Chain A
């Protein structure tokens, strides 16, 4: 299986390089965190908001931008296309589950971003005065693990939404709705800490925090020791939930697909 992943990764890498111009546009189009940063800096001009002054906002949103780049997922669009246009059929005839090729493409994309946009963000973090991140190995390790989990959750959630195309033609609308949920409760609009207590409690149980905000909170050292593990635990729980949903939808969806025609 490792060998298969290696080959799939290589072929998807050549595919990304084939589309390099488009790739760069996609990477750069991911600017909502920067827009929100500008908004919050201008608000913080009048005095800090909670614990956040201009420097804190900058550190927060640069980290958020980084996590977003490393967790971007578009597999719902691919599945929607494959299922509605019958392109899934040839893929089902191969002795490998189609999810592996989708995953390999997303991983190749992350390698691409690691070498293109991540250095830019790190450079920005280094030159902006007042922005500093903790460098102790535990924090960095927690950040990396949590970012990987965030990517996995987003991937499994979108994969599940994409599989809804077996039954409905508007699965992408559902995907947009979930994206809006992530903007709202994932820490894009504002750091979750600044939410009123009721909304913050809601955000802590919804999956969106664990798809984006949590790695940033961990990197910025905003969580106390025991809180960090508890939050990671919830993150892993959500990952398990979406994997279970995916498995169920794949099993019954495939039966449905092959019952109504491929």
Chain B
């Protein structure tokens, strides 16, 4: 059986609605109006040990709700989830000792004490043997460069420094399954890259399974071979990230820098001209003919520099959400995962 096995999972909320203003309050006091919100609506997938899977979707798509169901914080309304053979919402301690959930916007560290104090508490409550604790802490300290941070009060750390300590606290018990909900939110680019490299290294070193949500596409493209795309609570794509890009964006982008000016019309036979101002041009060309087009252009016009790029993933994904589906893509798993 897969390490994570989800079937027909649904989570519906009953949300209390109230009209604005005083009369709205009065009316709602006597007669509450409820609305059923389908945060997660019949989704299913399997994830194997050691995979790194990206969870994509716009705000309110149901990503965090799904992670909360998988980590055991929420009871599903319907369907079932099995993780490491456990039913998450039973919250058995042998289950909790093998998973972790890092929420970029919530802390588990004690704000008023140095992070080290929280680490020591975790050692005790997760029953981590002293030797294993020392070794893991040494490795995390090296990977995350924690040395100068752990003895400072958490509230005096910067956001990025705090996130590093949060990650360390969440990983001291060496969980086999990591749920990362926006782990890089609010961090600068350098720190985002550090966290990303760390997650990749942790996955490589310990073979841990990682499910990650992020608003930063770069997190997903750097870490995940496979993505699950969720929108309005429904799974609209499950499969290889590159395959999705290839299907949604069957073109590459040629960027040209020219030595002498050329008209847009002169470039149009090679592909769809997106931008052209004489000395610079951006052309979309079909994937299969991208290299040939580039070679022809080198011969035909006075080119100083040419690059062939993948289209930006942000654009593809937002296009996907607008359309609400991937054409002729089954929502089943396709493309192999990146299990070692």
Q: Which residues of A contact B (CB under 8 A)?
A: 3-4, 7-8, 11, 14-15, 18-19, 86-87, 89-96, 255, 258-262
Contacts and interface: CB of A to CB of B under 8 A. Distances in A.
B106 A4 contact: no
Given A4-B125, A95-B126, 16 more contacts: A3-B124, A11-B113, A11-B118, A15-B113, A19-B112, A89-B106, A90-B103, A91-B108, A92-B72, A92-B73, A93-B72, A94-B126, A95-B96, A95-B125, A258-B75, A262-B68
B117 interface: yes
Interface residues of B, number: 35
Interface in B7-22: 13-14
Given A4-B125, A89-B73, A259-B75, A94 B96 contact: yes
A262 B72 CA distance: 11
B113 A18 contact: yes
Interface string B270-283: 00000000000000
B97 interface: yes
B73 A262 contact: yes
Of B94, B112, B125, most buried by chain A (CB within 10 Å of CB) is B125
A262 B125 contact: no
Contacts of A258: 73-75, 89
A86 B106 contact: yes
A157 B108 CA distance: 27
Nearest to A254: B91
B107 interface: yes
Where chain B touches its partner, the secondary structure class is mixed
The 4 closest A-B pairs by CB, nearest first: A95-B93, A7-B124, A95-B96, A96-B125
Interface in B38-97: 65, 68, 71-75, 89, 91, 93-94, 96-97
28 contacts: A3-B124, A7-B125, A8-B125, A11-B118, A11-B120, A11-B121, A15-B112, A15-B113, A18-B113, A87-B106, A89-B103, A89-B106, A90-B107, A92-B91, A93-B71, A93-B73, A93-B96, A93-B99, A93-B101, A94-B122, A94-B125, A95-B125, A96-B93, A255-B75, A258-B75, A260-B14, A261-B68, A261-B74
Contacts of A18: 112-113
Contacts of A89: 68, 73, 103, 106
Contacts of A262: 68, 73-74
A95 B97 CA distance: 6
A18 B111 CA distance: 11
Contacts of A4: 124-125
A96 B94 CA distance: 11
A247 to B, nearest CB: 16
Nearest to A3: B124
B110 interface: yes
B108 A261 contact: no
A238 to B, nearest CB: 30
Contacts of A95: 93-94, 96-97, 125-127
B214 interface: no
Nearest to A88: B73
Nearest to B91: A92
Contact of A7 (B97, B110, B121): B121
B213 interface: no
Nearest to B121: A11
Contacts of A92: 72-73, 91
